[in-house]
Structure formats: C-alpha cells, structure tokens
Amino acid sequence: LSGIIPVGVLLCLKTWMRRAISIETTIAKSLRLSDAMEAYDAACKKLLAEKRILAWIMKNCIREYQKLEIEDIAENYIEGKPQIAEVPVLPDETNAPRIHGIGTEDTSLYEGTVTYDVRFFAILPGSGEGVHLILNIEAQNDFYPGYPLIKRGIYYCCRMISAQYGTEFTDSHYEKIKKVYSIWICVNPPQNRQNTITGYSIAEKNVIGGAHEEMEHYDLLAAVMVCLGKTDELPQNGVLKLLGTLFSSNMSYRQKQQILQEDFDIQMTETLERKVILVCNLSKGLVEKGIEQGITRGILASLKNLMSNMGWTAEQSMAALNVPKTEWEGYLSMME
C-alpha cells in the first residue's frame, strides 16, 4: 500500500483513521448513555403505572381523593389499565365521538405532538353520573430544562382539555368537559424545592361585587409539582418517601422491598418486583455512566486550562495529567 500511496498521505490517513475510531468510541459512549437513559425512563413509566402507586399519588396530590383509602382508590376509582405512551389520539382527523380509548399521545395538525408518560381515567368520588377525571403523570429529572416546568404542566392540562372535543363532547356541549390533572414527579429538583408538593389551579376571585359560580364550572384543570428529596427526612408513610424510595439510586432492591411492605403495605407481586429491580439496575448503571462521562469532561477541562494558562501543547498537558497514551487520540479528537 505504501508503494501506491505516498508515505505522507498514508501517515495522514492513519492519523485520521485513529481519530475517527476515537470519535466513534466517544459517540458510542454517548449513545450508550442515551440508550440507558431512555430505558430508565421507560422503566419509570411502567412503575408509575402500577395502580397501588397511582393510588398513593392520587390520595396525596388530588383533593377529591384525600378522604379515601389507598386500597379503595386502587380497586374502585382507577378505571381500566393505565396506558403508557402506547395509543395515539388524533383530534384533527375526525369529529366522530370517541368516548373510550384515551391515548397517551395527543397529536394536533397545528400544535405538534405531545407524549404523556402515563395517562388514564379515574372515576370522580361522589359522582352519580360516572364523571371522570383525566390524569397525566410525568416523571422529570431536569427541573430547569430551559423553561419553567410548571408552564409545561399547565400546557399539558390545556391540551388534555382541548383533546376532549370529539372524545368527551361534541358541538357546543361544553358542560361535558372533564377535569384534568397533570402531575409531575421531579426526581432531582433544586434544594429549595425538595420534599414539596405544590398545586396550581383555577380559582374564583371577585373583582367587583360578590357573584359566585358553581366550582365545578371552572375547576377544570390543576398542575401538581411533586419534588422529591432525601427520604430519611420524611414521615414513614408519606407519598414523598414512597416515590423517593422507588427512584433512589442508593438503595438496594431488598431495602426498597422492606420499606414498601412495612411502611406502605405494598406487597411485591412478581410483576411489581420485576419493575422495581429493573429501575434499581438501570439507575445504578446511569450513575456509573454519568461518573465516567463526568471524569472525561473534567480531564478535558483541565487539559484546556493547562494549554491556555501554561502555553503547553496538548501532549505536554496530557503527560502532566498522567493520561494514558492509549487515550491521547481520543482527547485530541474531542479538542478539535
């Protein structure tokens, strides 16, 4: 090959191939982390869709269920099987009534696609007409994703209300609009939001005079932010401790099993056991991958600082930091 291709070109080609392999390795690591995060997110959705877990969330976050027992909510008020990002609903395609078969993906030709983590019907306590609440549960790791998270929660509520046209009511029968809830489980909130549950809803306020409307006519949406924190600072049987235990990356499965059974009377069925173990394993894998990426970013930042402040070459900087020579090409490719 060297007799056909000039030596200089061959050396450049070999250098380029080594760097391409290094770049590919870096991209592969990022993709593995992305795949792990996606798998973890899917596992969390399935865990949240367990009726006993949903019942705890509903009792602690939704006014209408606060006086009911957990078992009663799980058995009698959650209708059907919660759907987990499975069935699309296309409100722009048809005006035909579709009272049942609510989907987790709400698509509009004009507004784009919104995917809900867990979405289901719940029967409203005390209603003799079978009125339903429509609940949406979202698990969120990033409390500040570039916008106020509560605005997204309210937007989801609005989308769930507008999507009822053609499914819950037609024409001008707005009296049939059902109340919606968007509940956000925030796993890594900032310190000032940890161990808090905060609700945002529509309220009547008299500006002039004392007129009053029936509450059911305007109490149509509520967004609830559930922000987790350290579980050792919480009461034994609160929903914050329940969710904090489920999503903890520091607890073993056995520890979680003991807390679920003793503090929350949640017995481990075979299905629930598989879901909890999967979340445990995936969360630990994410921590390990996150640490690995954090170390890489730290070394890269140190190299750039040495090159900038000391005037050293990349090679001199890597030697000073004792970076193995087998990893030099990878760091060189990341600095380009």
pLDDT digits over 113-133, tens only? 446 678 888 888 887 666 677
Nearest to 304 by CA among 324, 330, 334: 334
For residue 58, give every residue at least 6 positions away whose Cβ sits within 8 Å of its Cβ, in sequence order, or none.
65, 73, 77, 78, 122, 135
As a dihedral over the C-alpha atoms of residue 166, residue 167, residue 168, residue 174, rounded to 10 degrees, the angle is: -20
| 121 vs 155: CA distance, rounded Å | 19
pLDDT at 313 over 50: yes
Report the b/e string of 24-62 with b at 16+ CB within 10 A.
Answer: eebeeeeeebeebbeebeebbbbbbbbbbbbbbbbbbbb
280 in the same domain as 151: no
pLDDT digits (tens, 9 = 90+) for 284-303: 555 444 545 555 666 777 77
Average pLDDT over residues 82-88: 59
Helical packing angle, 270-310 and 253-264, nearest 10°: 130
115 in the same domain as 36: no
332 in the same domain as 290: yes
**Bridge partner list, 198:** 225
Domain presence at residue 28: yes
**Per-residue model confidence (pLDDT) at position 100:** 37
Domain presence at residue 132: yes
153 in the same domain as 55: yes
Query: In which band, very low, low, confident or very high, does the pLDDT at 32 lie, cut at 50, 70 and 90?
Result: low
> What is the maximum alpha-carbon separation in the chain?
96
Range of the domain at 321: 18-44+272-336
Average pLDDT over residues 91-112: 42
Domain presence at residue 103: yes
219 in the same domain as 93: yes
Query: In which band, very low, low, confident or very high, does the pLDDT at 97 lie, cut at 50, 70 and 90?
Result: very low
Domain presence at residue 267: no
Most confident of 49-58, 96-105, 282-291: 49-58
197 in the same domain as 54: yes
**Per-residue model confidence (pLDDT) at position 20:** 45
Tally of structural domains, the chain: 2
306 in the same domain as 222: no
Domain presence at residue 1: no
Domain presence at residue 246: no
Give first-to-last CA distance, the chain, whole Å. Answer: 29
317 in the same domain as 191: no
pLDDT at 74 over 50: yes
Domain presence at residue 250: no
pLDDT at 203 over 80: yes
Question: Quick check: 127 and 76 in contact, CB under 8 A?
Answer: no
Domain presence at residue 94: yes
40 in the same domain as 54: no
Percent of the chain with pLDDT over 90: 23
Average pLDDT over residues 195-213: 95
79 in the same domain as 24: no
169 in the same domain as 36: no
191 in the same domain as 60: yes
